[in-house]
Amino acid sequence: MKIKIYFVLLVFGISNVNCLFRSMLLARSTTHFVDNGECSNPTNSTKFAIIVHGWRQTCEEKYILKLTRNLENFRGGCIICMNYGVAAATKYFGLVRNVDILVEMLLEKLQELEYLGFKPANGYMYGFSYGARLVVWAGILFGHQRIGEIDVCDMAGPLFDKFPVSNTRSAAKNVQCIHTSSKEGTWGRDCHQNWNMGMCGKYQLAEENNPENTGSHGLCNSFSMLHFIITFMPRKHLYNVRLDI
């Protein structure tokens, strides 16, 4: 699959080309990668992880700090967060216009890590919402199932579902997707494992009692943090709800 600028041109029209390139330049110049200081002199067994946040977020989000600690405790090695907070602070439509440049930057980081001596099979990526789109597409472009594992947390659906990706599984040897919202999240179910939480992945009854007020979409990160210490067992849903209604 090739992700090119033609995708965003289809969505926004040729009349916005100048605005598009200014936006892409801003995204590239302000995006940076933050690591934990363990990303040099790798051995054949050194693990690495890349975390990519969502729209209107930065690498300072609580769930990212928790995930970083969990990765340090359970995996170790090099841990990186892709911070595109300036670009993410724009309107959603504006951020979607930058998908190609951000995917390209993430792909370049993967290539850099391999050049430094990290083995792709020892790699792990985590993406939430829009960030989930970035990790999947970068993984696909990096090469068929070269990355070891990707966790996809309620991948963004609006606009993107109009151009579905059919080869999500090629992004890593194992791509695990957690679905918690049909409003902000994708309707696609094409990962190696698809976890439909709550009401068939459409929404979460627990969102009303969520102290962080992140809604069904944001609760995905809560599930992801818990899976480090809790084994979630699949079961038949308790409600007569169909996913396609």
Q: Looking at residue 137, which CATH number applies to its domain?
A: 3.40.50.1820
The mean per-residue pLDDT over the stretch 98-115 comes to: 97
Is 243 within the bounds of a domain? no
- For residue 9, pLDDT over 70 is answered with no
> What pLDDT shows up at residue 245?
35
Is 32 within the bounds of a domain? no
Q: Rounded distance, CA 240 to CA 122, Å?
A: 41
Is 141 within the bounds of a domain? yes
C-alpha distance from residue 72 to each of 35, 65, 66, 127, 157 (Å): 12, 11, 10, 17, 30
The 3-state DSSP class for residue 64 equals helix
> What pLDDT shows up at residue 244?
44
Per residue in 172-216, pLDDT (tens digit) is: 999 999 999 989 999 999 999 999 987 888 878 776 666 666 789
Q: Tally the domains of the chain.
A: 1
The whole-chain average pLDDT of the chain stands at 87
Is 234 within the bounds of a domain? no
Is 13 within the bounds of a domain? no
> What pLDDT shows up at residue 15?
52
Strand order in the sheet with 123-128: 32-35, 78-83, 48-52, 123-128, 147-153, 172-179, 193-196
Smallest Cα–Cα separation from 180: which of 157, 160, 211?
A: 157
Is 70 within the bounds of a domain? yes
Q: Rounded distance, CA 152 to CA 224, Å?
A: 9
Is 37 within the bounds of a domain? no
Provide φ and ψ at 165, rounded to 5°.
Answer: -100, 120
The residue range of the domain holding 109 is 48-228
> What pLDDT shows up at residue 154?
96
Cα 80 to chain centroid, rounded:
13
| Alpha helix (H) residue ranges in 31-186 | 62-74, 85-88, 92-97, 99-116, 130-142
> What pLDDT shows up at residue 243?
45
pTM exceeding the 0.75 threshold for the entire prediction? yes
